[in-house]
Amino acid sequence: MAYDAVNMADWQISEAAEENMPTPEQWQEKLGLDKAEMLPMGRLAKIDFLKVIDRLKDKPDGKYIEVTAITPTPLGEGKSTTSVGLMEGLGMRGKNVGGALRQPSGGPTMNVKGTAAGGGNSLLIPMTEFSLGLTGDINDIMNAHNLGMVAMTARMQHERNYNDEQLARLTGMRRLDIDPTRVEMGWIIDFCAQALRNIVIGMGGRFDGYTMQSKFGIAVGSELMAILAVATDLADLKDRINKITVAFDKSGKPVTCGDLEVGNAMAAFMRNTINPTLMCTAEYQPCFVHAGPFANIAVGQSSIIADRVGLKLFDYHVTESGFAADIGFEKFWNVKCRFSGLKPHVSVLTSTIRALKMHGGGPKVVAGKALDDAYTKENLGLVEKGVENMVHMIGVIRKAGINPVVCINRFYTDTDAECAIVRKAAEAAGARCAESKHWEKGGEGALEFADAVIDACEEGNDFDFLYPLEMKLRDRVNKIATEVYGADGVDWAPEANAKAEMLENDPKYADFATMMVKTHLSLSHDPVVKGVPKGWRLPIRDVLIYSGAKFLCPCAGTISLMPGTGSNPAFRRIDVDPATGKVSGLF
């Protein structure tokens, strides 16, 4: 049943849909799960993925469908809505379908953008739980990560206060001799807290810590979140946590969570995060929520674990990559699929008339401010100029050997003539194209879209990676910059170049994934530049080392690992009714 999305708020649609939301016990029956494979948590449940995978290990995988997008406006172009709409459309066609989406961060939820659970008739339910911590994975990650920082700072204090003999006698620990100017980790919090980007800690006396500069990042950018996205099981998670590089000692050797003897305790905090949480669409297709890393500063994917379970349980499994194809799809293609060994059947490129108009030279789009009339009234000229960005992204996906399906995520203000321009350009670039009104009409509005995806899944592809693992880090970055972003080349800051050279010469890092850190608002490193920029070079200022996740993260431009809260944040609208406990204003 589709609700009146034009006149009903998302929370009203969610509330209505939740009245008939299946219980954990009903999901157990619907999905054919054993009782021991369901881990109820209130009106939601986690799935014991190892039990499911083991029982279904000989069952063939379903069709693997990835959803990405063109370069978005700051408002986002509806990848989650499109992913949910596709599940609903495939469900309307009678297919056994499910998916996997990322858990939203409290940062954007309480900031200008708000929560990210889809919208209209294509949203995940229950929305309040989804938006406010769900089953606690991000909270567990924060506790585990910050425990690592507590271990490091306490160790630095004690090593300063005790000589080697006292240290050995009192604690049995060896001196790690951490260099306070070469600390890789910072603290994390799941809010956009610009005041914590650069801090000084340990003020006071000799028993009040170690005085030094430190920092906070947003929780979903933590290496622990990246590890959760790529881990295969709890043993793998524990091993990776112990290998995290927290800092370097004064001789330049890495100091890990294992060296600090804190990694096992961190894994204990994260023991429950390893199992995906089961939610559903407003039309009751199952959808796992697991991991929630940003794509501009992290891997930007829901977990390999959730995809592996979904491919066993569903004939069609939909997974989403963060932000645009230059970022999210590139990491899905060259990192996630390489780590998982899974091969996608098709990728969906979400496109909106709004974003194409912006790329065609339309007025600036600012989150929290009303859209200019150019975006809500027909303007064929802006669409014509803006399709270049979409065509570029089609080319990126085709480099992976996949022929994409372009989904025109149609808003009710878009016109037939505007959509016709997009369809013509997409098909001329060799892609399938379908309009979809899933936001307005749910699965019924996504039938053309679902049919295009079904057809594409039956068509073979020549999926392959952009570069071999043997390629050196700086060569990989150059290939990504030139062939994915469209840059003329790469300019390395002296410190970043020296770090890259050191990493290239150490065989320990030879098989680490290359995880670019770049703005999502432009193909370039500059968020102001729209369309398909020409005649530019990508500046790399640093390379972060995620030795547990096995990522090397070249940082382009001035992107921050801690976003800032805007002047008109969403938390101003959020309230709770003390009589009923009902939350309002979230979406």
Same domain, 41 and 161: no
pLDDT of residue 320: 94
pLDDT of residue 366: 86
The answer to whether residue 576 sits within a structural domain is no
The DSSP secondary structure of 406-472, one letter per residue, reads EEEE--TT--HHHHHHHHHHHHHTT-EEEEE-HHHHGGGGGHHHHHHHHHHHHS------SS-TTS-
Between CA 260 and CA 252 the distance in angstroms is: 16
The residue type found at 209 is G
Catalytic pick among 116, 247, 267, 295: 295
- Annotated catalytic residue 79: yes
User: Taking the alpha carbons of 248, 253, 257, 262 in that order, is the dihedral positive or negative?
Assistant: negative
- Annotated catalytic residue 187: no
Catalytic pick among 95, 102, 240, 530: 102
- Annotated catalytic residue 536: no
The answer to whether residue 465 sits within a structural domain is no
The answer to whether residue 564 sits within a structural domain is no
Q: What is the DSSP letter of 517?
A: B
Over the stretch 244-261, which tens digit does the pLDDT of each residue have? 999 999 999 999 999 999
Same domain, 120 and 32: yes
Same domain, 435 and 535: no
Same domain, 292 and 385: yes
pLDDT of residue 299: 83
Same domain, 146 and 231: yes
Query: Is 74 labelled as part of a ligand binding site?
Result: yes
Degrees, nearest 5: CA angle 323-343-477: 50
Domain holding 217: CATH number? 3.30.1510.10
Query: Is 319 labelled as part of a ligand binding site?
Result: no
- Annotated catalytic residue 439: yes
The answer to whether residue 116 sits within a structural domain is yes
Same domain, 499 and 409: no
- pLDDT of the chain along its 587 residues, tens only? 789 998 998 889 999 999 999 999 999 999 999 999 999 999 999 999 999 999 999 999 999 999 999 999 988 888 999 999 999 999 999 999 999 999 989 998 898 877 767 899 999 999 999 999 999 999 999 999 999 999 999 999 999 999 999 999 988 889 999 999 999 999 999 999 999 999 999 999 999 999 999 999 999 989 999 999 999 999 999 999 999 999 999 999 999 999 999 999 999 999 999 999 999 999 999 999 999 877 676 788 999 999 999 999 999 999 999 889 999 999 999 999 999 999 999 999 999 999 999 999 999 998 778 889 999 999 999 999 999 999 999 999 999 999 999 999 999 899 999 999 999 999 999 999 999 999 999 999 999 999 999 999 999 899 999 999 999 999 999 999 999 999 999 999 999 999 999 999 999 999 999 999 999 999 999 999 999 999 999 999 999 999 999 999 999 988 788 989 988 898 998 999 999 998 888 87
Degrees, nearest 5: CA angle 186-188-193: 110
Q: How many CA atoms lie within 13 A of 583 on its CB side?
A: 14
Catalytic pick among 68, 71, 81, 153: 81
The DSSP secondary structure of 350-369, one letter per residue, reads EE-HHHHHHHTTPPPP-TTS
- Reduced 3-state DSSP string for 64-126: EEEEEECCCCCCCCCHHHHHHHHHHHHHHCCCCEEEEECCCCHHHHCCCCCCCCEECCEEEEC
Same domain, 547 and 418: no
Same domain, 364 and 418: yes
Residue where one domain finishes, among candidates 269, 299, 327: 269
Same domain, 127 and 56: yes
If one counts the domains in the chain, the total is 3
- Annotated catalytic residue 571: no
Residue where one domain finishes, among candidates 458, 492, 521: 458
Query: Is 75 labelled as part of a ligand binding site?
Result: yes
**pTM greater than the 0.75 cutoff:** yes
Between CA 228 and CA 237 the distance in angstroms is: 7
pLDDT of residue 19: 95
Query: Is 73 labelled as part of a ligand binding site?
Result: yes
Q: Taking a C-beta distance cutoff of 8 angstroms, is the pair 269, 219 a contact?
A: no
- Annotated catalytic residue 582: no
Q: Taking a C-beta distance cutoff of 8 angstroms, is the pair 515, 546 a contact?
A: yes
The answer to whether residue 2 sits within a structural domain is no
Domain holding 518: CATH number? 3.10.410.10
Residue where one domain finishes, among candidates 246, 269, 292: 269
Same domain, 281 and 397: yes
The answer to whether residue 394 sits within a structural domain is yes
The answer to whether residue 172 sits within a structural domain is yes
Same domain, 432 and 501: no
- Annotated catalytic residue 294: no
Domain holding 64: CATH number? 3.40.50.300
Catalytic pick among 79, 474, 499, 530: 79
The answer to whether residue 575 sits within a structural domain is no
Query: Is 79 labelled as part of a ligand binding site?
Result: yes
Query: Is 76 labelled as part of a ligand binding site?
Result: yes
Of the candidates 122, 80, 101, the one whose C-alpha atom is nearest the C-alpha of residue 437 is: 122
Query: Is 89 labelled as part of a ligand binding site?
Result: no
Same domain, 452 and 536: no
- Annotated catalytic residue 113: yes
Q: Taking a C-beta distance cutoff of 8 angstroms, is the pair 238, 264 a contact?
A: yes
pLDDT of residue 295: 66
Catalytic pick among 95, 113, 238, 432: 113
Domain containing 214 equals 137-269
Of the candidates 219, 50, 226, the one whose C-alpha atom is nearest the C-alpha of residue 136 is: 219
Catalytic pick among 187, 288, 323, 536: 323
